[in-house]
Amino acid sequence: MPIYWLPEADDPEFFPDPEKAEIDPNGLLAMGGALSEQRLIAAYKQGIFPWYSAGQPILWWSPNPRAVLFPDQMKISRSLKKTIKKGHFHVRFDTEFKKVIQHCAAPRAESPGTWIMPEMTSAYCHLHEKGIAHCVETWLDGRLVGGLYGIAIGQVFYGESMFSLATDASKVALVQLAKQLQQWQFQLIDCQVSSAHLSRLGAIDIPRLEFTQLLKKLCSQSSTAPLNWTVHPRKRS
């Protein structure tokens, strides 16, 4: 079946039913469109996200199953608890969003390329300015050594990417995020696709249909999070 093409002039909130996504490659649903604020918000609310490489059109995905993490079910290993207890890392929210996304976009040993194109960086920085995209940063001796970024809608945080330049740095950021999200009444963290790293932290796979049904409920609910997450200074974790 041909992949649905999204003309830029079309309704920016329209997407095909995620249940029509490809089985192989898992979750490919549509291509085209634009990374506008309205299009991106509509995509996330329907369980869809952009992911593509240089030279490709924008590709929109909704994989099945979907990896999720319930904030109150996060697993913290003994070694990670020891790392947190030492207090070497300092965690901040929303102070260096562009730097976090740039670190996430940097080539890695296991993946020399990047899917975070310059236009994606620009689009998510715009969402950050609107109070929709947020980041968590892990600092060590005054250096940014880890973190993650994503989208917050209703009571859902959609994780996009994370990076780590020091052992456990991204894990510490995720632990602090889960704790804060619970205080702000968030119910779900979208992890997109499973990995051993996320599974060890408590992420599980659920059917896509169950995930999209959760979104219909949770995206319409209000959280107590402020528009700018930096209004709550972070202590050492």
pLDDT digits (tens, 9 = 90+) for 154-200: 999 999 999 999 999 999 999 999 999 999 999 999 999 999 989 99
**Is the N-terminal amide bond of 25 cis, ω within 30° of 0?**
yes
Task: Label residue 111 left, alpha or beta by phi (over 0 means left) and psi (-120 to 50 means alpha).
Answer: beta
CATH of domain 67-231: 3.40.630.70
Indicate where the chain has its CATH 3.30.70.3550 domain(s).
4-63
pTM of the model: 0.94
Task: Let me know how long the chain is.
Answer: 237
Both structure tokens of 11: 């309704």
Q: Residue 82: CB partners within 8 Å, gap ≥ 6? A: none
Both structure tokens of 41: 């918000």
Indicate where the chain has its CATH 3.40.630.70 domain(s).
67-231
Both structure tokens of 136: 């968590």
CATH of domain 4-63: 3.30.70.3550
**10: pLDDT confidence band, cut at 50, 70 and 90?**
confident
> Is residue 30 over pLDDT 80?
yes
Both structure tokens of 132: 């929709």
Backbone CA torsion sign across 218, 196, 60, 145 = positive
